[in-house]
Each structure stands twice: as C-alpha cells, then as structure tokens.
Chain A
Amino acid sequence: MAEGGSRLIPAAHQAPLPLDRLLVPVGAPGAGDRMDLDVVVVGAGPAGLSLAIELARLSKQAGRELAIGVLEKAGALGEHCLSGAVVNPRAFRDLFTEDETALPFRSPVTRESVYLLTAGRALRLPRPPSMRNRGNVIASVCEIVRWLGAKAENLGVNIFTGYPAQSLLVRDNTVAGVRTTPAGLDRDGKPGSGYTASTDLVARVTALAEGSRGMLARAWLEWQRIGSTNPQIYALGVKELWETKRPLDRIVHTLGWPLSRDTFGGSFMYPLEPNLVALGLVVGLDYPDAGLDIQVLFQRMKLHPLFREYLEGGEMLEWGAKTIPEGGYYSVPARRSGSGVVLLGDAAGFVDVPSLKGIHYAMQSGVFAARAIFQALGRDAADAERLAEYDRLVNSSFIMHDLHRTRNMRLAFKRGFVMGGVQAGLMTLTGGRVPGNRITVEADAAVPRAAKPSGESFMPDGKLTFSKVDAVFKSGNATRDTIPQHVVVGNAVDQRVARFYSHVCPAGVYEVDGSGLRVNAPNCVDCKATDVLGPTWLPREGGSGPKYKRM
C-alpha cells in the first residue's frame, strides 16, 4: 500500500498472521506430550469459565462425565483479566442460584454522573439512555474470574494456569485441539535449563475464549475464510486502581478532554469501595495523530480537577492495559462455530460499546456454547452442523439483539464527534432504526496517520502520574528478563514507524534507539494494542506478563 506524503499507514509495516505456525496438523512433531480431552477451552476468562461450568453441570446431570480442560496463559486465574467494570448481573442470575450477596460483586450502582471535560472544567451532562446502570453492579473482573474458577474446579473442571496455547491442531477442516507454548527458552529461542516442551491437547471440541484480539480465533477465521460485514476495530483502555483519601460515591463517565474531536473515547471512574477507586481512559485505535500516546494522555488526565480531588494523597495500587473490540454487530464474524470449534466472548466481538458492557455477553455465550457442545457430543458429532446450534442460540438471544440495536453507535463517531453525537442521539431515540443502514469502516491499521507537532514532553511526578516503566512495575509484571522476544516486527520499520510504535504501546515495549527500533519484550502486558497497529503478538511462556489482582 503506497504511503501518501508524510502519512504513516500502519498496515504497510505489519507482518501477516503466521498461519503456518498457528495451524499445525494433529500428530505433527514438536510436542513433548499429548493429552486427550473431550473439550479444551482456551482462556479462563468469564466466557471460558462459564462454558466449563455449564458443560460440567450438564454432563453431571446426565451422568456422562466429560473431560474438560481450560488453558490459561497467566500464572494464576485473573492475572491477565482487566475491565472497568460495571456488570449486568443477568448472566450470573441465569447460571447460579446463589443469593446476590454470595456473588462476586462489590456493590450495586447507586449514583452515576456523566461529564464533558475541558482542560480545566467538568460540565455535567444528562445521562444518555444507553448508560443507565441502575440494576447493574460494580465488580472487578479478576475477582469474578477467581470466583468462577473455584466453581469450575469444584465441578471437576481442570484449570491449567501457566499454559498459553500457541497453535490450533487441525485435521482437514476440523479443529482437533491446541498445542501449548514451550517454557524455559533462552533469549535466542533455544532450550535453556528448565526447558519444558509443548504439550498437545487433543479434544473433540475446542472453545476459543482468548479475549480481545484472540490470536487463534483470528487464525481460524482467516483459515476458514469467514469474514464479517465490517472488519473488527479496537480501542485501548489503560486503567489504574487507587486507594484514595477521599471517598467516591458514584460511577463517573467522561467525554471530551483530553481527547480531541477526531479521537473516539472517554474515561471511567468506579468505586469498588468508597476508597478503592478504579479509573481509566479508553481510546479508539483509529486516531489520526501518529504521536498520540494513550498512556501519557491518561496520566495527564488524572491532573484534571475532577480526578485530582479524589486521587491526591492516595496511592496507586495497580496499573494495566487491554484492548476492547469496538466494531459491534457488523464486526461479529458471520459464524462463530465450525467443525470442532466455537468462538466466545470478546474473541467473537460480543461487546456493546455504548453501554460499555461485555462480561455478561461473554458469560452467556459460554453458556450457549456449552449447551450446543453437550448436545453435539451426545450425538457423537462435533461437526460444524451440530455446533451451529451455538450460533443459533446466540443470534436469537439478547446478545445479538442488544448489539443490533446499537450497531451504528460507535461507527457514527468515525465521522467526528459532533456528527457522531447527533447520530448517536438519533439512534437511541429510534431504538437503532435511524440511521439504519450499515456504516462501513476500515480496519484500524489501514487508517493513515500524521504526526502533529508534539507539545512539551511529559514529566511524570511519581505521585499522581507515572512513567511507562513504573506503570509496568505496578501491573505486577516480573517477566523473566532472558525470555525470547515474542513479538514479530514487520517490514520497513524506520525511525518514524518506531516512534509511532513507542507511542502506541502503553508499556514501553518499543523505543526509538539510534536510528531503529528497540524492543523491550519483557515489559509487555499482553494488551494487544500494537498487535492491532504494529508488530504481531505471539504468546510466550506461561506466567509471563502482568499479574492483575483486582483490575
């Protein structure tokens, strides 16, 4: 793709997905051991664990034990999970009979405020209908996941933490399982002391619940040539958890500053406890300014009086980052099931941007998948036809109904803040009917960017604002320094592109060094932002990356 003038097109520098590595024939050499299961789930997040729980229940009820394994790349449950979060509890109420007080929620939403920020002020806005959170609860997705994990283990599900999946095992057009990453490789990729080879998990059904920008999900879709009406687009969220001196009594959302009109996004601030506050900034990755640095923007944002009054004198406990799929209805793949495989949750794009909700869709998708899988395995046929029942269940459920209603909401903002606002308003009033036809978008990496003249460089104060290196420390990341580099840099990455990457990555993985790119791979917190706009992310040995506790 030719580059125009001084505009940078990220896609021109990206390497393609290495399908030859991501799709491996069953029985191919390279694994040290093999395990056979009925169902393998990739990702112990809300979607994967809900599937495991429902499936274990169904099989127990029917007296047909199923061997279910859930692979999780983090060293312990929840450590790679990050969200706001204000959760719609309906999926919990459907899955569990526990009393509300026994569910992993912090508190119900009582008050909420929305503000339009300028550099110095906060203008209270009337709450948009899509943001009514009465009946919803504030929670930490890490706590939800640990709670679900305990339920799953009690039902006999095997949860394997510290085991990332690096390839799909395939046989003809069928997915037959996954292969895990090896551990103990040294910087050159050679086995060091403590080397552990990959393991093949061969299963009748593989459920891909890898979360946002799931690598194997994308590989499968590309391989099977399954498209979506629009390409998937993403936002990057950076978040901190603070212990504050001043209590917060409401959930807060903001628009406007520090984002300019051509950049989509906003911030959130939620009290897990009155003095335990989660706050973050979410920005669409289609921004036009090549020098935009979301982590720096977030740090600056905290100096705004609205946030500062809560954070002053407090302590930052944790920091983290993660991408969110924002394409909505039109970016969901045409089908999310196939021979031997299903796609769940964020990996399938089940996120509603206007209401900022994804956790209950993820859980519900896991439940639907479990039911379809159970039926299919009962008939001893995990083929595409049988597993298509999963798609039918999702399509006729509130998941797709909700996404359809807000199908153009985020996309409208691609035409700018004001136009977007008007269209969003119309959509809400008409329940999605106006404007009704699809708004086409391009992939984030195809959006050209130009470097605006940069303002003064940002000096963190170490009290309210932090450098990328310090932020990574607070993510709990203590990845082995000698780990091999896991990101694949594409082509023609000159100083200009290197600088762009250094701004995209909130964790300081990329730096401009002399005339080229310097990669500090151990810093990576697996957010996938640069996977969307730059070097390809591949999994590394289990337990690497962040260790979120209450994010």
Chain B
Amino acid sequence: MSGVLAVLEQRDGGLRKVSFEVTSAARRIADVRTAPVEALLLASGAVSEADQVGRFGADRVVTLTHTAFARYAPEAAARVIAECVKSEAHDVVILPASAMGKDLAPRVAAKLGVPLVADVTDLAVENGAVVAVRPVYAGKALLKVKVTRKPAVLSLRPNVFTPLEQRRKAEVRTAAIELPEGAGRVVVRELKAAAAGAIDVAEAPVVISGGRGLKEPANFKLLEDLARAFGGRAAVGASRAVVDAGWRPHADQVGQTGKTVSPPLYIAVGISGAIQHLAGMRTSKVIVAINKDKDAPIFKVADYGIVGDLFEILPRMTEEIKKIYG
C-alpha cells in the first residue's frame, strides 16, 4: 500500500506523544494525494494506545515485535523500517526528530540512499513534491526546501505540530518478526532515568524563569511551587543577574551565556528582558511575562503579560494550574 509512512516511537511499552504529531503530519501530506497513511511501530510487545493512532489519521497501524526492540536498536530498526518502505513502496516517510529520531532518521535515509530533511516545522505538497520548512542559524532563519527524490524522508520537530483528530477506521496489526542479521553492532544496554524532578531547563516543555524581581533567593520557592503544579513538565530557570548573585546554579541560566531554550511555554517572572536573556528564549512558542513594571522590555516579546506584584500573582497561578494538571 504505497503511501505515507509515519514512524512512531514508544518507550517501555508506552506510546510517546510525538507519535500523534507524526501521524497528523503524515495525514496532512497523504490527503493532498489521497494516499493512505501507515503507522509503523517497533516494540518488544504490545504497546498501549497503539490502537489510538487511528484517531489522528492512520489508515493502518502496524506493530512489529522482537525482543531486541525492548530498547532502541539503531541498526535493526533502520533496516526494518527501510525494508518496509521498499516493500510497500511508500514515497514519503516521516519520523519524529526526538532524541531517538535524530539518530534513526538519517540511518533510514542512508539505507534508502536518499537525503533526509531533518527537524521540520512545517510541510506541504507543492506540484507533487514535498516542500518542508526548517529552522536554521539557531532559529534566526527559516529554510524552505523541496525534495526531488523518492522516497522523501523527513523528521518532525516535536511540540510544533498539533495532533489533529481525524477519526479513521484504522486497521491494527501486530506481528512478530525475525532479525536474521541480528540486532546490530550498536547495542543500547541500559536506560538510566534522570533523577526525579531533575528535568533540565533545555528539555522541559514548560520553563519558568525568575529574575531580580524575586528579591531574594528564598522566593524562588514560589516558582518551584508553580513548576510542581505542572506535574513534572516544568523546570525552573534563571536570569543571569540572579545566577551572578549566587541565588541559582549556572546550569539553570537561560540566556546568551547560559542555555538556549525553546519550549512550548516560557514564563518570565520578575525579569526585565535584556537582549542577552531574550537571546536564550526568544524562539519559545508562547511567552508569558509577569512583571510589576509595565514598561519592562520583556512585555514587547511576550505573547501574554500580567502587570502586577508577582508575590500575589504566582500563588494564584499555582492554584489555577493545579486545577488543570491535578
């Protein structure tokens, strides 16, 4: 069934959210050419929610199982996916540009002897060819490219495509496979989980940063409370001023000489908005600013702002967020 292949990602038997984004993107491409979408998942056994993928536009969901796929098996995975593409003659392949996908996608492309367009933030079909947009120069520019070879292999930046519900009657299949060439020379022996609550500022989907407006290091507790209310999704960052003052560690610093972050949601609390801070978070999807100075430069970059006393605003926010994330 020649069409668009969406490569899904699971971890420890649970489907990762980015899989829905990839399926939606595949659906968007497939609809232009009225082609089917096949979703492919490699796992060691059944994966919960694999049957949900039809909600996001898959016509068929195939889970191929082998004990080697309990962990990411780079060489075997690339081989299996490439074979699937060849045997079904898919002409577009979409993978997530997650940590795994950034490693897997170029392998798949290399096996197919075609280029990869990586970390895509938008895609479409123009005159029969896949056209993709991707950020370059640290997000300071967008590159638009056209892929002229088939199959077109692309990887999708996570947290950019909103999964679109599109009810389909998806055919769900699970099959155990053999790996005659073995699992490969590169073996993932172990996955060491990060310490609980220690989500890195550069990885978190929500970053809440504090600046001098917090007045004292102890007041960062207000940000930590808010972060906890997001249920493990949020990290607490810091401006250069408070790191210089010794209130927060350098690893939490967001800005030109600290970390560059691009989360879906960035909340700047008591931060004025100097360019060297903006340089580190300017490409965040949604920016919220809380500051008592209505002329603070941060309000010029923020999508939403509240002017007022952060000591009153933060506890209220924590309450409201708790209601959502439980």
Contact = CB atoms under 8 A, between A and B. Distances in A.
A and B: partners? yes
Interface string B233-266: 0000000100110000010010011100000000
Contacts of A160: none
B274 A481 contact: no
Interface of A: 459, 462, 467, 469-470, 472-474, 478-482, 520, 522
B257 A479 contact: yes
B295 A481 contact: no
B257 A478 contact: yes
Given A462-B300, A478-B257, A480-B257, A469 B250 contact: no
Given A470-B276, A481-B244, 5 more contacts: A469-B276, A473-B275, A480-B257, A481-B250, A481-B258
B274 to A, nearest CB: 4
B124 interface: no
A473 B300 CA distance: 18
A481 B275 CA distance: 16
Given A469-B274, A473-B276, A522 B295 contact: no
B275 A470 contact: yes
A473 B295 contact: no
14 contacts: A459-B295, A467-B274, A469-B274, A470-B274, A472-B276, A473-B256, A473-B274, A473-B275, A473-B276, A474-B275, A481-B240, A481-B257, A520-B244, A522-B257
A480 B240 CA distance: 11
B297 A462 contact: yes
B279 interface: yes
A481 B297 contact: no
A318 to B, nearest CB: 13
B300 A481 contact: no
A499 B155 CA distance: 54
B318 to A, nearest CB: 30
A522 B274 CA distance: 15
A462 B272 CA distance: 12
A469 to B, nearest CB: 4
A112 to B, nearest CB: 34
Contacts of A467: 274
Which of B250, B274, B295 has the most CB atoms of chain A within a 10 A radius of its CB? B274
A478 B274 contact: no
Nearest to B300: A462
B250 A482 contact: yes
B9 to A, nearest CB: 35
Contacts of B275: 469-470, 473-474
A472 B274 CA distance: 10
A538 B104 CA distance: 51
Nearest to A467: B274
A205 B138 CA distance: 46
B250 A478 contact: no
A462 B278 CA distance: 13
A482 B240 CA distance: 11
Nearest to A479: B257
Contacts of A470: 274-276
A473 B274 CA distance: 9
B279 A473 contact: yes
A459 B295 CA distance: 9
Task: Please list the 4 inter-chain residue pairs (A to B) with the smallest Cβ-Cβ separation, ordered nearest first.
Answer: A469-B274, A473-B275, A473-B276, A470-B275
A474 B243 CA distance: 21
Which of A470, A474, A479, A481 has the most CB atoms of chain B within a 10 A radius of its CB? A481
Contacts of B244: 481, 520
A520 B212 CA distance: 14
Nearest to A522: B257
A478 B256 contact: yes
Contacts of B258: 481
B279 A481 contact: no
B253 A481 contact: yes
B245 to A, nearest CB: 9
A522 B257 CA distance: 10
Contacts of A480: 257
B195 to A, nearest CB: 22
A479 B274 CA distance: 16
A481 B258 CA distance: 9
Contacts of B257: 478-481, 522
B152 to A, nearest CB: 37
Contacts of B240: 481
A320 to B, nearest CB: 15
Interface in B144-159: none
Interface string B277-290: 00100000000000
Contacts of B250: 481-482
A470 B300 CA distance: 15
A474 B258 CA distance: 17
B201 to A, nearest CB: 15
Contacts of A481: 240, 243-244, 250, 253, 257-258
A462 B299 CA distance: 12
Which of B258, B276, B295 has the most CB atoms of chain A within a 10 A radius of its CB? B276
A306 to B, nearest CB: 27
Contacts of A478: 256-257
B185 to A, nearest CB: 33
Contacts of B295: 459
A489 to B, nearest CB: 17
A522 B243 CA distance: 13
A333 to B, nearest CB: 39
Contacts of B256: 473, 478
A315 to B, nearest CB: 13
A479 B258 CA distance: 11
Contacts of B243: 481
A453 to B, nearest CB: 24
A469 B243 CA distance: 16
A522 B255 CA distance: 14
A478 B255 CA distance: 10
Contacts of B297: 462
Nearest to A463: B300
Contacts of A462: 297, 300
Contacts of A482: 250
A472 B275 CA distance: 9
Nearest to B256: A478
Contacts of A472: 276
Nearest to A468: B274
Contacts of A469: 274-276
A483 B309 CA distance: 34
Contacts of A474: 275
Contacts of B300: 462
Nearest to B258: A481
A480 B274 CA distance: 17
Which of A467, A469, A472, A520 has the most CB atoms of chain B within a 10 A radius of its CB? A469
A146 to B, nearest CB: 23
A467 B274 CA distance: 8
B167 to A, nearest CB: 48
A478 B250 CA distance: 15
A470 B244 CA distance: 17
Nearest to B276: A473
Contacts of A479: 257
B243 to A, nearest CB: 7
Nearest to A474: B275
Nearest to A469: B274
Interface string B177-218: 000000000000000000000000000000000000000000
B110 to A, nearest CB: 36
Contacts of A473: 256, 274-276, 279
Contacts of A520: 244
B211 to A, nearest CB: 12
A522 B253 CA distance: 15
A481 B250 CA distance: 9
A523 to B, nearest CB: 10
A59 to B, nearest CB: 43
A474 B275 CA distance: 9
A522 B276 CA distance: 13
Which of B243, B250, B275 has the most CB atoms of chain A within a 10 A radius of its CB? B275
